[in-house]
């Protein structure tokens, strides 16, 4: 059997190549390639180890006919098209903890440099000017630090800032009150952070929700004289707005390690008064680079040789032996989590995942992770099976796992239950032919249905003529029905209809469906 073949396409510690070889992989180190050069050779590799320079685009993935796994030596994966990789069946891993301390320390260093104007004072002194009275800094002791993002790196920054006797306010949608207390910070909304903070540091990934989180409007809300540090991701700050705020002196200083376009050889901020920058050095310490290089080599080789998955961004961790049996259950679990997340709209605090029969013989963690990945999409589309359990915990969601080895009506079953203001609500599903996910129960109503694509969920009174009315409404609006799935509690009582449609149902059609005689609930669903 041929050895797995790995390409290291960015510069990293030489020990990474050694680990690949020791663990049974052939490895090539070819760095500095153009996209066309990488595209020409990527087809021969099973694994790709990168840092930030290599851009893994859909075009690269299309040419990667044998690629099974991508490993990023570092935390940020902005340079990898994860949806395209997932569609291609390629696992994407990162090393989320190897450079956290280094990045946090760089943010603290940038903050201190801003507070005491160290770069400008250094330049002036070395020029022989001795402008002692020109550089009047500020203390950080007693000042308020605003953290935008309170995850792993943000928490480390908070601990260091507490040691500097700073007060800390934090904005993070996933930060619970309990976690804030543990960190020693005050949880606030973004507007309050902007108005209170003397220093602001950013520690959040770049998503549709966080892009330009410090916009011109947001910067206008900040306290006059605020100082801003970004060692997270370019694009979190509107750079043109920041330049204007610096020139007006509303912002007293800004320090950026990252830019919207990198390498940033030209940028409007360059030369702006009270602006300092570094060339994306957040993770650039000897310790961090060794750590992430060794970790990515260990993770990729473990996957390629043994099938083990660690720190994957598009699938849960599981062993090679478990994977074939668990994958159908994970598909079922994610659909059930997504279904109940779309239908239960309370501020949910508890979720139970119960496995029964054959499912109870398996590793439940990937099943739970898949349920949470589907469920947590109600908050963010960037959630995946790896970070969903952590995000659920941060939101204060109590997760309970239940295992029933007895076999019930179905030979295998997965049930998801949430605690709502109206009581417990649950959905359940099974596998047909040990492979095909199928819904079999929704809120206590027996119904067998595939969960796929665009769907409508309707609760109505069980009365003659309803199917005709809903079919007529959809037909008049040019909406083609794929499948009908019906269930009811009792004759003449509450009935449930799940139907698949070829395209998303417009809002006006949903509203019209709500007005039909006997209709109680109408929801559009997407899987």
Task: Write the pLDDT tens digit of every residue in 268-280.
Answer: 999 999 999 999 9
In 3D, which of 51, 110, 326 has the Cα closest to residue 230?
110
Query: Average pLDDT in the 227-254 region?
Result: 97
Where are the chain's structural domains? 5-95+287-306, 100-277, 315-445, 452-527
Using pLDDT thresholds of 50, 70 and 90, give the confidence band for residue 152: confident
In 3D, which of 435, 522, 425 has the Cα closest to residue 470?
522
**Residue 139 designated active-site:** no
Q: Which is the CATH superfamily of the domain at 5-95+287-306?
A: NAD(P)-binding Rossmann-like Domain (3.40.50.720)
Q: Point out which residues pair with 200 in neighbouring strands.
A: 146, 228
Mean pLDDT of the chain: 92
CA separation for the pair 343, 456 (Å, rounded): 11
Q: At how many degrees (to 10) do helices 507-514 and 466-476 cross?
A: 160
In this prediction, what percent of the chain has a pLDDT beyond 90?
Answer: 74
pLDDT digits (tens, 9 = 90+) for 98-148: 888 999 999 999 999 999 999 999 999 999 999 999 999 999 999 999 999
Using pLDDT thresholds of 50, 70 and 90, give the confidence band for residue 319: low
Residue 371: pLDDT above 80?
Answer: yes
Cβ proximity of 523 and 338 under 8 Å? no
In 3D, which of 402, 397, 425 has the Cα closest to residue 414?
402
Cβ proximity of 193 and 170 under 8 Å? yes
Category of 406 on φ-ψ map: left (φ > 0), alpha (ψ -120 to 50) or beta: beta
pTM value surpassing 0.85: no
Cβ proximity of 340 and 427 under 8 Å? yes
- Phi, psi angles (nearest 5°) of residue 510: -60, -45
Number of H helices, E strands in the chain: 17, 22
Q: Which of 51, 280, 415, 425 is catalytic?
A: 280
**Residue 287 designated active-site:** no
Using only C-alpha atoms, the chain has a radius of gyration, in whole angstroms, of 27
CA separation for the pair 252, 229 (Å, rounded): 12
Looking at the structure, give the CATH architecture of the domain made up of residues 100-277: 3-Layer(aba) Sandwich (3.40)
Q: Which is the CATH superfamily of the domain at 452-527?
A: ACT domain (3.30.70.260)
Residue 362: pLDDT above 70?
Answer: yes
- Read off the DSSP letter of residue 312: B
pLDDT higher at 413 or 308: 413
Cβ proximity of 150 and 368 under 8 Å? no
Query: Average pLDDT in the 375-404 region?
Result: 79
Q: Is the peptide bond before 263 cis (omega within 30 degrees of 0)?
A: yes
Residue 382: pLDDT above 60?
Answer: no
pLDDT higher at 160 or 377: 160
Neighbours of 405 (CB within 10 A): 11
Please tell me if the domain spanning 5-95+287-306 has the same topology as the one spanning 100-277.
yes
Q: Which of 262, 322, 448, 494 is catalytic?
A: 262
CA separation for the pair 90, 471 (Å, rounded): 41
Query: Average pLDDT in the 40-68 region?
Result: 96
Q: Which CATH number among 3.40.50.300, 3.40.309.10, 3.30.450.20, 3.30.1330.90 corresponds to the domain 315-445?
A: 3.30.1330.90
Q: Distances from the Cα of 429 to the Cαs of 324, 356, 368, 420, in angstroms?
A: 19, 11, 14, 20
- Phi, psi angles (nearest 5°) of residue 49: -105, 125
Query: Average pLDDT in the 27-32 region?
Result: 96
Q: Residue 525: which residues within 8 A CB-CB, separation 6 or more?
A: 339, 342, 343, 451, 454, 455, 456, 457
**Residue 247 designated active-site:** no
Query: Average pLDDT in the 39-43 region?
Result: 97
Q: Which of 233, 415, 425, 485 is catalytic?
A: 233
pLDDT higher at 191 or 90: 191
Give DSSP secondary structure letters for 52-114: SS--B-HHHHHH-TT--EEEESSS--TTB-HHHHHHTT-EEEE-TTTTHHHHHHHHHHHHHHH
């Amino acid at each position: 059997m041929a050895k797995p073949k790995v390409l290291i396409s960015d510069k990293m510690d030489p020990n990474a190549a050694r680990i690949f070889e020791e663990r049974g992989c052939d490895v090539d180190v070819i760095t500095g390639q153009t996209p066309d050069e990488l595209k020409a050779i990527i087809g021969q590799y099973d694994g790709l180890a990168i840092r930030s320079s290599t851009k893994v685009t859909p075009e690269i993935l299309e040419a990667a006919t044998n690629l099974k796994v991508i490993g990023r030596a570092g935390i940020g994966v902005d340079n990898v098209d994860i949806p395209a990789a997932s569609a291609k069946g390629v696992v994407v891993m990162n090393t989320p903890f190897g450079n956290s301390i280094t990045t946090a320390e760089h943010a603290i260093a940038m903050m201190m440099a801003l507070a005491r104007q160290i770069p400008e004072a250094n330049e002036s002194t070395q020029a022989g000017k001795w402008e002692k009275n020109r550089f009047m800094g500020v203390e950080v002791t007693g000042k308020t630090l605003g953290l935008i993002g309170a995850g792993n790196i943000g928490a480390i920054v908070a601990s260091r800032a507490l040691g500097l006797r700073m007060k800390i306010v934090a904005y993070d949608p996933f930060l619970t009150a309990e976690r804030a207390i543990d960190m020693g910070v005050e949880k606030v909304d973004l507007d309050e952070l902007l108005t209170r903070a003397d220093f602001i540091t950013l520690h959040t990934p770049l998503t549709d929700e966080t892009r330009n989180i410090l916009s011109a409007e947001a910067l206008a809300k900040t306290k006059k004289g605020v100082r801003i540090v970004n060692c997270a991701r370019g694009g979190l700050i509107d750079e043109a707005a920041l330049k204007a705020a610096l020139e007006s002196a509303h912002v007293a200083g800004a320090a950026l390690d990252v830019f919207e376009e990198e390498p940033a050889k030209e940028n409007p901020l360059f030369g702006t008064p009270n602006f300092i920058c570094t060339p994306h050095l957040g993770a650039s310490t000897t310790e961090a680079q060794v750590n992430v290089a060794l970790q990515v080599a260990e993770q990729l080789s473990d996957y390629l040789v043994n099938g083990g998955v660690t720190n994957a961004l598009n699938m849960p961790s599981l062993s090679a032996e478990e994977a074939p049996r668990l994958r159908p259950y994970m598909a079922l679990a994610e659909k059930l989590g997504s279904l109940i997340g779309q239908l239960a709209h309370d501020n949910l605090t508890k979720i139970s995942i119960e496995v029964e029969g054959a499912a109870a013989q398996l590793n439940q963690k990937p099943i739970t992770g898949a349920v949470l990945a589907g469920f947590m999409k109600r908050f963010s589309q960037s959630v995946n099976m790896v970070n969903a359990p952590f995000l659920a915990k941060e939101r204060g969601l109590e997760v309970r796992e239940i295992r029933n080895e007895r076999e019930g009506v179905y030979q295998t079953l997965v049930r998801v239950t949430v605690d709502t203001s109206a009581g417990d609500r649950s959905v359940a599903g099974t596998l047909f032919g040990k492979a095909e996910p199928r819904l079999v129960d929704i809120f206590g109503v027996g119904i067998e249905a595939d969960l796929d694509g665009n769907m409508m969920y309707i609760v109505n009174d069980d009365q003659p003529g309803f199917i005709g009315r809903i079919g007529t409404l959809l037909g008049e609006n040019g909406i083609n029905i794929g499948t009908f799935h019906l269930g009811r509690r009792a004759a003449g009582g509450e009935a449930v209809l799940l139907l698949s449609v070829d395209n998303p149902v417009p809002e006006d059609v949903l509203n019209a469906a709500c007005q039909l005689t006997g209709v109680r609930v109408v929801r559009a669903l997407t899987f």
